[in-house]
Structure 1
Amino acid sequence: MKTRITEMLGIKYPIIQGGMQWVGHAELASAVSNAGGLGILTALTQPTPEDLYQEILRCKEMTDLPFGVNLTILPTIKPVPYMEYAEAAIRGGVKIMETAGRSPQDFMPLFKANGVRVIHKCTSVRHALKAERIGCDAVSVDGFECAGHPGEDDVTNMILLPAAAAKLSIPMIASGGIGDAQGLVAALALGAEGINMGTRFVATKEAPVHENVKQAMVDADERQTTLIFRSLNNTARVFRNAIAEQVVEIESRDGKTDFADIQPLVAGARGRANVLEGGDIDDGIWTAGMVIGLINDIPSCQVLLDRMVSEAETIINKRLVGLCG
């Protein structure tokens, strides 16, 4: 499968592992890269820029293939040294950055001066066009189905992807709701030149999360996610569990939600310790996309990618070509 994305990034398959907080460690990123895709380390999973640099070196010990670093730029109460994380990635020799959140415009001179390819995650056509204008090499367009923050427009990929493809000249990667060969083929048909998967890669053997989390995804159907932070205009899609339902109930009350009312429930440290590490799927918030309804097993990254591409080729060459024969 050759697209502008595979050529640009130097990868075999047009499949990218999205940056995921607490999940994007060297074990998973290297496994995805070794399987023919593009693995991504999550910068802010590491406590300091120096820790990120060391994680990059550790990943290089596990793969000699390309991998990238995700840098999610968000407003925070406690200042985050974003530029230092970016500099650590460059010092580690990383040539692919996935940026998200705020515009990466302030970082572009540093990235361009060091030959770094920049993929910016967007949840709307207007943001994708802004990313193109400031010099990003590609955009990852996230539909409403995605895990984490889907933006506030609530547009699904069936509409968002072709709308963005019609106006962009740089390559577009489809993100959100994709976890199998059918999704890969559909994304390509809608104008994407690659796909980005987060939730699907959590349910793999190499993902550094508790087996209970992976099995919960296998057992779930497409209705097992919910939206929180709607009242705060910071919508997030998470796995529907006891904590998530408490948050939704608090937000449904009359009047504006005070974040202090839900903060103990949604604390990232709680989700990490109790869910991702401890395995109690009901004792913290954890992000998951609607694609959990399509997850039926927990394969290795190699098996997953080989299977997806093989089945996609069959769909394209037999089913779709046959429709026109």
Structure 2
Amino acid sequence: MFDTAVTRMFGTRLPIVAGGLMWLSEATYVAAGARAGIMSYLTAASFPEPRALRAEIAKCRALADGHPFGVNVSMLPKLVPGDKVADTFALIADEGIRFVETSGRNPAPYLDQLKDAGITVLHKVPGVRYAVSAQTAGVDMVSIVGAECGGHPGLELIGSMVNQALAGRRLDIPYLIGGGIGCGSQIIGALASGASGVVIGTRFLVAEEIQAHDGYKQALISAGETDTELTMASVRNTVRTLRNETTRLVTELEASSPDIGIDDLLPLVSGKIGRKAYETGDVSHGLLSAGQALGFTDAIAPLAEIVRALEDEMQHALERLRQLQTTHGEQGDVRA
């Protein structure tokens, strides 16, 4: 039904990519996405031991029933001692994985390694200017996430609609639009603007296959598009998360201490704190990535059911467009 660079490149049925979710994109969820006809990625950082990552890849391959999936590699913004990105890419190649999603810094130093292994690289960025740099470096596709996204929307906070219009003017490679995407009509809008698909995160957090406490998912369902908070701009690492006690404390600290550093914030924002919410359902503490697409999280459901709902909404949007068109005369004038 849809034939875009995304469906052709990945061999999927729909032009939808489920971006990697730290601690949550494991085999059960990723394989469910693969079977539903979308692209999905295991998060390598969730399995820091090589043996564990290999085991998760094997499990996902068994559950995916031959459908494509990939591995997300989130790279620190700066090289640090002991950086194992190259080793992770070597493991992924050895496992025969054909698709990688990268983020965090420009993947240019690793592209020769990935290309030699026949791996397709989708690089995630928070704005079109970074997408242009990634294109110059030689990635195959970019996903551009706008200010509405959960997680890291960048420092400039450019909205998704602006990103998708600018990307069509400035990019030659295929691109995805993300940030606040949770409805099928948005997907059609992105495709109409020239995108080859969309990337979705928050809308899928309430999927049954997400291995997290129901209390966490119910909190997302109860929340809406106004229930997120931007913090961490003081350390140039802006993050959008579910509003809670932690975001209140971090906001107060950032406002009161102009010279605050990451070491001052770490006791509040450590990933280990947020991970407990997935295990216990208590969402009062930790930075829990969530975007404005919370407005669309209405029920816990199988991922395939959520994807089908998006697909139905896409069809309705297309039908509305058809009804707006009326062709007259030999010149085919279109009136709306």
Equivalent residues, number? 323
- Equivalent residue of 1:115, what SS? coil
> Could you tell me how far 1:191 is from its partner in structure 2?
2.0
Which residue of 1 is the match for residue 191 of structure 2? 188
* Alpha-carbon distance in 2 for matches of 1:186, 1:166: 16
1:132 Cα deviation from its structure 2 partner: 1.1
Report the counterpart of residue 241 of structure 2 in structure 1: 238
Alpha-carbon distance in 2 for matches of 1:260, 1:133: 35
Give the secondary structure class of the aligned counterpart of 1:140. strand
Match of 2:296 in 1: 294
Q: In structure 2, what is the Cα distance between the partners aligned to 1:127 and 1:284? A: 29
CA RMSD of aligned residues (A): 1.3
Contact 2:122–2:143 at 8 Å: present in 1 too? Answer: yes
Structure 1 pair 143–55 and aligned structure 2 pair: CA distance change class (3 A) = same
Q: 2:331 corresponds to which residue?
A: none
Q: Partners of 1:188 and 1:244 in 2: how far apart? A: 35
Q: Secondary structure at the match of 1:205?
A: coil
Alignment of 1:236-275 (within 5 A): 236-272=239-275, 274-275=276-277
Stretch deviating more after TM superposition (72-81 or 99-108): 72-81
Secondary structure of the equivalent of 1:252? helix
8 Å contact kept, 2:163–2:177? no
Flag the 1:76–1:228 CA change in 2: closer, same or farther, 3 A: farther
Give distance in 1, aligned partners of 2:85 and 2:14. Answer: 30
> Hey, what's the Cα distance between the residues in 1 that align with 2:216 and 2:189?
27
Q: What is the CA–CA distance in structure 2 between the aligned matches of 1:78 and 1:209, rounded to whole Å?
A: 32
The equivalent of 1:131 in structure 2 is 134
Question: Aligned runs of 1:106-117 on 2, under 5 Å?
Answer: 106-117=109-120
For residues 282 and 76 of structure 1, do their structure 2 counterparts lie closer, same or farther at Cα, with a shift above 3 Å needed? farther
SS in 2 for 1:166: helix
Distance 2:127 2:231 in 1: 20
Larger radius of gyration: 2
1:18 Cα deviation after fit = 0.3
**Uncovered stretches (5+) of structure 2, i.e. residues with no partner:** 327-336
Query: For structure 1, which runs of at least 5 residues remain unmatched after alignment?
Result: none
Q: TM-score, normalised by structure 2?
A: 0.93
Q: Distance in 1 between matches of 2:38 and 2:60?
A: 15
Q: What's the CA shift string for 1:218-276, capped at 9, x where partnerless?
A: 1111111001111111101111011111111111114221323321110101111x201
Percent identical pairs in the alignment equals 34
Residue identity matched to 2:104: G
Whole-angstrom distance in 1 between the partners of 2:56 and 2:257: 46
AA in 1 matched with 2:278:
L
Residues in 2 aligned to 1:232 and 1:140: alpha-carbon distance in whole angstroms: 24
> Counterpart of 1:140?
143
Q: What is the TM-score with the length of structure 1 in the denominator?
A: 0.96
Query: Where does structure 1 differ by over 4 angstroms across 4 or more consecutive aligned residues?
Result: none
**Larger mean Cα displacement after TM superposition, 86-95 or 48-57:** 48-57
